[in-house]
Amino acid sequence: MEPALPEATAIAVRDGRILEVGTLETLQPWLDLHDYERDDQFADKVLLPGFIDPHLHPTMAAVLLPMYFITAMEWKLPWETVKPVQSRQAYLSRLKEIEAGMEDPDEPLFAWGYHRNWHGEITRNDLDGISATRPVIAWHRSFHEVIVNSATLKWVGLDAENIGDNPQVDLPNGRFYEMGLRVIVNNFMGYLLAPDRYAQGLKRMRDVVHFGGHTTIGDMATGLFYLDMEWEMTKSVLDNDETPFRVDLIPDGNSLAGVERKNEDALALIKSLPERNTHRLRFGDHVKLFTDGAFFSQLMQLNEPGYIDGHHGEWIMVPEQFEDAARAYWNEGYKIHVHCTGDLGLELALDVLEKLQWERPRFGHRYTIEHFGLSTPEQCRRLKELGGQVSANVYYLYELGAVYAREGLGHERASQMARLGSLARAGVPTALHSDYTMAPALPLNSAWVAANRINAEGEVMAEAEKLTLDQALRAITIDAAYILGRESEIGSLRAGKMADFAVLEADPYEWGAERLKDVPVWGTVFEGKPYKANRP
């Protein structure tokens, strides 16, 4: 990923950093003056910079990974491969099968992966049919929504009186979504975040991250649930030599502001967080904010012509609230990351950026659009003009492209999800992320989608929006490092950078874009130490 020296056959490492890249002959001045060991174990493999996912959620993953997965797409995990379930009857049958096999009658059944475009409308009444006594929770594929049975409401002590008037709660159908999700989640987080269960989830998350070839990840919403608990558990499980990657922790400015939305309190807390830094876990000068709702729930906010069926999206932070928060962090010099899924949500983010640039101009502000689901070509040019950048979830196109073309958006807009080619032509810095568990934490798979734009039904969508193979690989290495502001430390192989490598069994440039997702990952080298990945 260094254009000045794109290929090499030898690399010298000392104390976790790269001394020089080249050949054994060009490295000779170092070898002549220093004692060294020659390591040929990767002579038949290919080293790339360690892969970087600038946006995933360790806490979310730790909550979900101990659950049962019932998903419309196949999921390759280090310990199993989850087969797809793609109909309403098959979903309910799988739930019934799981429930029948559970030995403890009081254990709640948490199932992640429900999506109404494949599994139809599932309601509280349907889940009551799975069990009238056991809590059954169908957690939506988006993470932004749950559907629960009556036994769950009894378990957590919720009813119409203590829920109140919340527009994002549909109590008769047992549906809690977007900010309404917190109404119920806060009541069973004690169970989901119990130390043993949460530690198990974090260890599984560690295996998932390593499985994909990562050496750096970004936790793009630290404090999503309970900041201090998340921090202590993350430090306990991940801050040790068993973890072959580092974590950049980006605080969730919306959650930390609390229900009273006191940005000044959240800002003061966030300013103090770098004092906690360890070698593997690092806070910096980044913060996460939100505009519109979940892409997987079709709750993104859209410009005209909107959704085919006429429904409307949702705001996570209403426009005035988002602008106030963005201004507070902008004026303190923070690098702001904005969750945007629809083109109207993106328009809000760009309008606020333009206003803040007018009020207090900044260079190198690294204002980042996260996800970048739907956009227009004009917005790509505007991003360039305003100095913005993008961290995109291109996997949306693979899983949702065909179904959203039929049910939600129409073919034109659905085919142009994550219009990465337009960003490349405009010169907007662009990376790829998984938003795990919104996409598999498999960076070569994300790069494959970006370079081929093939959906789950085998159709190529908006071919002009493809990235080249080289651009796609940069988007999971050096350009991903740029999103995190770490490009001087990681993301490419050159003298002075950390000795972080993704170790591959084949050369992706020889296999080509069409076979990119199938390149086997042996494991990684993290700060000079090899770690072989566990394979199922």
Q: How far apart are CA 511 and CA 84, in angstroms?
A: 27
- Residue 517 pLDDT greater than 90, yes or no: yes
Helices 195-211 and 227-238 pack at an angle, to 10 degrees, of 60
Residues 360-390: pLDDT tens digits? Answer: 999 999 999 999 999 999 999 999 999 999 9
Residues 86-112: pLDDT tens digits? Answer: 999 999 999 999 999 999 999 999 999
Backbone angles phi, psi at 92, to 5 degrees: -65, -35
Residues 268-320: pLDDT tens digits? Answer: 999 999 999 999 999 999 999 999 999 999 999 999 999 999 999 999 999 99
What is the mean predicted confidence (pLDDT) over 394-411?
96
State pTM to two decimals.
0.94
- Residue 463 pLDDT greater than 70, yes or no: yes
Which domains does the chain show, CATH number per domain?
Answer: 63-192 (3.10.310.70)
- Residue 409 pLDDT greater than 70, yes or no: yes
What is the mean predicted confidence (pLDDT) over 312-336?
96
- Residue 317: predicted pLDDT: 94
Average pLDDT of the chain is: 95
What is the mean predicted confidence (pLDDT) over 516-523?
97
Q: Are 49 and 501 in contact (CB under 8 A)?
A: yes
Residues 141-176: pLDDT tens digits? Answer: 988 899 999 999 999 998 888 888 888 899 999 999
Q: Are 495 and 444 in contact (CB under 8 A)?
A: no
- In the numeric block, which tokens belong to residue 361? 């101009």
- Residue 190: predicted pLDDT: 87
pLDDT band at 260 (very low <50, low <70, confident <90, very high): low
Helices 395-406 and 443-452 pack at an angle, to 10 degrees, of 50
- Residue 535 pLDDT greater than 80, yes or no: no
Residues 482-511: pLDDT tens digits? Answer: 999 999 999 999 999 999 999 999 999 999
Q: How far apart are CA 246 and CA 137, in angstroms?
A: 33
Task: Dihedral sign for Cα 220, 189, 261, 277, please.
Answer: negative
- Residue 405: predicted pLDDT: 97
User: Strand 81-82 and strand 214-222: pairing?
Assistant: unpaired
Q: How far apart are CA 203 and CA 206, in angstroms?
A: 5
- Residue 259: predicted pLDDT: 66
- Residue 534: predicted pLDDT: 80
- Residue 65 pLDDT greater than 90, yes or no: yes
Q: How many CB atoms lie within 10 A of CB 15?
A: 8
- Residue 42: predicted pLDDT: 97
Q: Are 503 and 523 in contact (CB under 8 A)?
A: yes
- Residue 219 pLDDT greater than 70, yes or no: yes
In DSSP terms, which residues pair with 218 in a beta bridge?
A: 248
Residues 412-455: pLDDT tens digits? Answer: 999 999 999 999 999 999 999 999 999 999 999 999 999 999 99
Specify the amino acid at residue 450: A
User: Strand 46-49 and strand 521-526: pairing?
Assistant: unpaired
- Residue 536: predicted pLDDT: 63
- In the numeric block, which tokens belong to residue 49? 């910079």
Helices 319-330 and 263-272 pack at an angle, to 10 degrees, of 40
- Residue 119: predicted pLDDT: 96
Q: How many CB atoms lie within 10 A of CB 127?
A: 28
What is the DSSP secondary-structure string of 23-57?
-TTTTHHHHHHS------TTTTSEEEEPEEEEEE-
Backbone angles phi, psi at 336, to 5 degrees: -100, 130
Q: How far apart are CA 77 and CA 54, in angstroms?
A: 20
CA proximity to 503, closest of 7, 186, 49:
49
Q: Are 368 and 336 in contact (CB under 8 A)?
A: yes
